[in-house]
Chain A
């Protein structure tokens, strides 16, 4: 697709790359990485805890989280994203796109959250920077948040306890994504399947959300999956 980018733009992009600090934040396997819920030892709970219940929780940890900022009026930005990702950034409010191991959530008219495998984060960021033009920003926030997947027949009740947003089928189809109040904090809430939902939460609030979810799902039975 690179032939679509005019030579003068590539030059401009090369300058742009100099104008922001780039950093591969990932260390090697010898350096121990801990997700925000590491201390909760979900693996042990998964092994020893209940196997049946109305709510199943799984942390998808240590993924690559990239915040992408840019204007929808900036064609060089949108086209660059398409080129680097292989699909369009979703411009329909509250929508998301998932392809393979990459998923993008619409967060605001000028903001998206891209989640990729943890080891791909820097490479994807570099590809985006190379392909995009004009005013934009990309921020790696992989250490600052984590993904929780909730599944099971009673998840909707847990969500109704937790967020004032309407999670009914008619208002929250599969693929929709909303950033809203979650208990006393906030979460990016996405419906990923009929009975499957995804929460993106901040690291420092993760323990609170974990406590909240245990409490809210207690009456339905909480299963933790490794």
Chain B
């Protein structure tokens, strides 16, 4: 297909570089420098979407980020699919594959359009909310229908092959937008020596200057742009970011920028290159030079393909050498848009009429149009458009001076393109992100940024400043002020302002909604928000239904909801709501724009934090050995801990049974390095321990270890562990593996905020020590072969620690036990961890030294009724509930954390849920953890629940299942039976018993 709308010359495209691309399966051609949108228009493609609600054909209306319709699906392969790409922002490359995202079966031939003709009735404003409510059960049915019809693009089904990453930046001056204001600001700031970042969403810097045809210093403005960019590139402290959308402006001048590094080159990034990059910028000062979007007018059938925003038409002609039609009708409320008619005429196509809503407009551009003999119809408006897949004509009628009603007869004009301009809306989105409320200005008929709390300046179009001369002035001033405020004195000195001629303009008319001969409700559809199919009638209906706040109107009608965030429609919508509510626009206010400005890919958000790097994996010094010996691993916090060590052909239960029995019968070994370890030094260390633990520490002698429970202020257990007295003023605390950081922070919190006078220092030594626990009746014999320490039971007792050597390596050995067996915890500097571990195995073979993991550890400790904080406790359990009143001392001179909490009325109830042991009637049956206990399994649902099972295993040593669980008043119900109804309808019966199933007197650990 030929590029029938392409001009023979002009524009910033390279006609010598032809590019092939596909849209909806058909092959087209465009040129280097095209966007996908300009290439589609060049090829005469009118319809690029079907509308969301009414399934009406839609065409391209804009030329930038504000485009509501041309939201396409991109990707040549399944893995490279990208949804939500605005064709107006996607640069064309050879081999680009795109398709419409909505339209069923396709945008051109849409079955839904037949529904659409009546669909308006089916989907009035507030449709979502009404279907949510009446009746709720129908929602699932509606949803399928709506989703399929709406077709909002799709995500790829295969893994993205590309690399995305993030970069952190800091700068003195961050400038958003590289149009005339941004470039002027950057130039001044850069010359001051400040660190400057200049970001622009387009491939080329220059903004409106790339298509406006204006002059700076008497020469084409694009020459000034090129010189300016060339100078900026030479400044070593300037970072230029083209193709980079500043999508979020967050607190403390933190900005997130989405850069598309290779999206303009190919479907997939060249090997080794990053496809997209998220820049995270912390700026001292920010200059917003984001410009303005032209507002279309709201008139009958204004969504028919061929209806466009006036400046977009100029952009396509001047920048891309594309005239998107043959016969133009321009409707305008202002002087500036006359330029579009002039550009159209210059391109050699027919200007049917300029319809000016003002009664007697005067200005330089109007004079120029008159001079050229263009047909200007004043005091009139386009009230309706004819055509379905493309504009075929318009109806023009005179309107009154306020623009409220049609005052005369309707005339039909033939045309295929309607350009409209209702003036400009400053792009205040980023300013809104920071919480600043926009302010309305009657003189520019638009919202400008309100008071800011950030170190932020604005320049150019965002301020409602549209004359190039003033825009450049504001840019240079803002650049200088930002640089000076950031500490670069005299930035403004010696800067020669680029000069540009002022064009004389007459006042614009504040008109948003074009009247029709019929009342709005019965007039042809007048679209406000094209992406969400919100009409003027819909907004009026919303206000009639009582939605008076603009925020409610927005949510009720879905105005501004889509990926375009209402960039074109919102101001018109508010104006219509204001008029309907009989109040001014400032009284009505505006909705606030939120990040992101345009959609960002998940790839850019994730960056490199995916795959292997998604989460940290922490390893102990012996990890390699575990892997080589077939361990399966369990995640404990970020640690990878051996779960169990299956031998060939073993099931999990068989492996656990073997590991449990080997430990109780001979000796087992556990890598306990992950336990949190905190070194505590200082003369107040002991007293500090007394305050953070529930039990007493005053009399713990040097060389001794003690178990402790830690509670929150509420008296609920939150961590536990053994703390050893290394010397009079020196202790080593251990915590749960997952709780290490939390406990250290807890200690620091109390030290720094409550008891800063105490002389004590806490330091983490978790990673410093490799910890291996040998456990079982033969552990002493094994250790004796490797150590110089006297292991005699009389000199090295249970709950003692000793210092010496193991396998020639300096070690601290703690005789503590989490299995109830004779047990030694060997600690060596982690660099020697694997060496000592291997030595133990060299000597351990004859004792059948068996490595075990967390699962066997759980079974062995449960046999002894030892709790695991975080598994048997859940933040609602006191030491008393656990049956551990032996671990609470109320005789301490100073209070301790949790004491008052535990004394609360609710905590001293005797019928609280309490930890008990549970023995199933069927010894083979293991109650699933989390099962709820009831007294009577036959009672009606919902049953009265008594508590849940916290730990449950099969014990090979005991030959039956064992469980720990909470039971209401459980401590007083020993021997009674409770029932655990299961999801499959079966019921497991269990007897309440002591949680200590094995060796209740603790003889095994004392041998």
B767 CB within 8 Å of chain A: yes
Q: Are A140 and B167 in contact (CB under 8 A)?
A: no
The 6 closest A-B pairs by CB, nearest first: A144-B767, A144-B768, A21-B726, A143-B829, A143-B830, A137-B681
Q: Are B616 and A184 in contact (CB under 8 A)?
A: yes
Q: Are B613 and A183 in contact (CB under 8 A)?
A: yes
Chain B proximity of A163: nearest CB distance (Å): 7
A190 CB within 8 Å of chain B: no
Known: A135-B683, A143-B831, A205-B618. A161 touches B166 (CB 8 A): yes
Chain B, residues 723-738, CB within 8 Å of chain A (1/0): the string is: 0001111100000000
Q: Which residue of A lies closest to B702 (CB)?
A: A21
In angstroms, Cα B621 to Cα A62, docked, is: 14
Q: Are B170 and A32 in contact (CB under 8 A)?
A: no
The stretch from B594-602, B804-812, B978-986 touching chain A is B804-812
Q: Are A137 and B761 in contact (CB under 8 A)?
A: yes
B274 CB within 8 Å of chain A: yes
B129 CB within 8 Å of chain A: no
In angstroms, Cα B770 to Cα A144, docked, is: 9
Q: Are A184 and B728 in contact (CB under 8 A)?
A: no
User: Which B residues are closer than 8 A to A by beta carbons?
Assistant: 165-170, 195, 272-274, 280, 282, 608-609, 612-613, 615-621, 623-624, 639, 679, 681-683, 726-730, 759, 761, 763-770, 803, 805, 807-810, 812, 828-835
In angstroms, Cα B170 to Cα A208, docked, is: 26
SS class, residues of chain A in contact with chain B: loop
Residues of B within 8 A of A26 (CB): 810, 829
Chain B proximity of A8: nearest CB distance (Å): 17
Q: Are B280 and A164 in contact (CB under 8 A)?
A: yes
Q: Are A141 and B682 in contact (CB under 8 A)?
A: no
In angstroms, Cα B683 to Cα A62, docked, is: 31
Chain B proximity of A222: nearest CB distance (Å): 13
A34 CB within 8 Å of chain B: yes
Q: Are B829 and A20 in contact (CB under 8 A)?
A: no
Q: Which of B167, B613, B727, B834 has a CB less than 8 Å from the CB of A212?
A: B613
The A172-206 residues at the B interface (CB cut-off 8 A) are: 183-185, 202-205
The A136-177 residues at the B interface (CB cut-off 8 A) are: 136-145, 157, 160-161, 163-166, 168, 170-171
Q: Are A145 and B767 in contact (CB under 8 A)?
A: yes
Residues of A within 8 A of B805 (CB): 27
The size of the chain A interface, using a CB distance under 8 A, is 59
Q: Which residue of B lies closest to A25 (CB)?
A: B829
Known: A33-B832, A204-B767. A20 touches B727 (CB 8 A): yes
Q: Which of B166, B274, B765 has a CB less than 8 Å from the CB of A141?
A: B765
Residues of A within 8 A of B729 (CB): 16, 19-20
Q: Which of B168, B808, B812 has a CB less than 8 Å from the CB of A31?
A: B808
A99 CB within 8 Å of chain B: no
Q: Are A31 and B832 in contact (CB under 8 A)?
A: yes
Q: Which residue of A lies closest to B273 (CB)?
A: A219
Q: Which residue of A lies closest to B770 (CB)?
A: A143
Q: Are A207 and B619 in contact (CB under 8 A)?
A: yes
Question: Can you name 19 A-B residue pairings with CB atoms under 8 Å?
Answer: A16-B729, A21-B803, A31-B809, A34-B621, A34-B831, A34-B832, A36-B830, A62-B831, A67-B763, A110-B761, A137-B682, A142-B829, A142-B831, A144-B764, A160-B168, A161-B608, A168-B170, A170-B195, A204-B766
Q: Are A219 and B767 in contact (CB under 8 A)?
A: no
Q: Are A204 and B639 in contact (CB under 8 A)?
A: yes
Known: A21-B727, A164-B280. A204 touches B619 (CB 8 A): yes
Q: Which of A27, A69, A161 has a CB less than 8 Å from the CB of B763?
A: A69
Residues of A within 8 A of B835 (CB): 31-34
In angstroms, Cα B759 to Cα A66, docked, is: 20
Residues of B within 8 A of A218 (CB): 272
A28 CB within 8 Å of chain B: yes
Q: Which residue of A lies closest to B801 (CB)?
A: A21
Residues of B within 8 A of A163 (CB): 168
In angstroms, Cα B689 to Cα A125, docked, is: 25
In angstroms, Cα B729 to Cα A135, docked, is: 11
Most buried by B among A136, A143, A157, A168: A143
In angstroms, Cα B460 to Cα A170, docked, is: 31
Q: Are B769 and A143 in contact (CB under 8 A)?
A: yes
Most buried by A among B167, B274, B759, B829: B829
Q: Which residue of B lies closest to A166 (CB)?
A: B170
Chain B proximity of A211: nearest CB distance (Å): 6
Most buried by A among B612, B727, B768: B768
Chain A, residues 110-141, CB within 8 Å of chain B (1/0): the string is: 10000000000000000000000001111111
In angstroms, Cα B833 to Cα A216, docked, is: 30
Residues of A within 8 A of B608 (CB): 161, 212, 215-216
Residues of A within 8 A of B618 (CB): 204-205, 208
Q: Are A139 and B679 in contact (CB under 8 A)?
A: yes
Known: A145-B767, A161-B608, A163-B168. A168 touches B617 (CB 8 A): no
Q: Which residue of B lies closest to A32 (CB)?
A: B835
A18 CB within 8 Å of chain B: yes
A6 CB within 8 Å of chain B: no
Residues of B within 8 A of A31 (CB): 807-809, 832, 835
Q: Which of A30, A33, A205 has a CB less than 8 Å from the CB of B616?
A: A205
Residues of A within 8 A of B831 (CB): 33-35, 62, 142-143
In angstroms, Cα B429 to Cα A80, docked, is: 59
In angstroms, Cα B619 to Cα A36, docked, is: 9
Known: A34-B621, A69-B761. A203 touches B767 (CB 8 A): yes
Q: Are A34 and B834 in contact (CB under 8 A)?
A: yes
In angstroms, Cα B284 to Cα A171, docked, is: 13
Residues of A within 8 A of B808 (CB): 27-28, 30-31
Residues of B within 8 A of A140 (CB): 768, 829
Q: Are B621 and A215 in contact (CB under 8 A)?
A: no
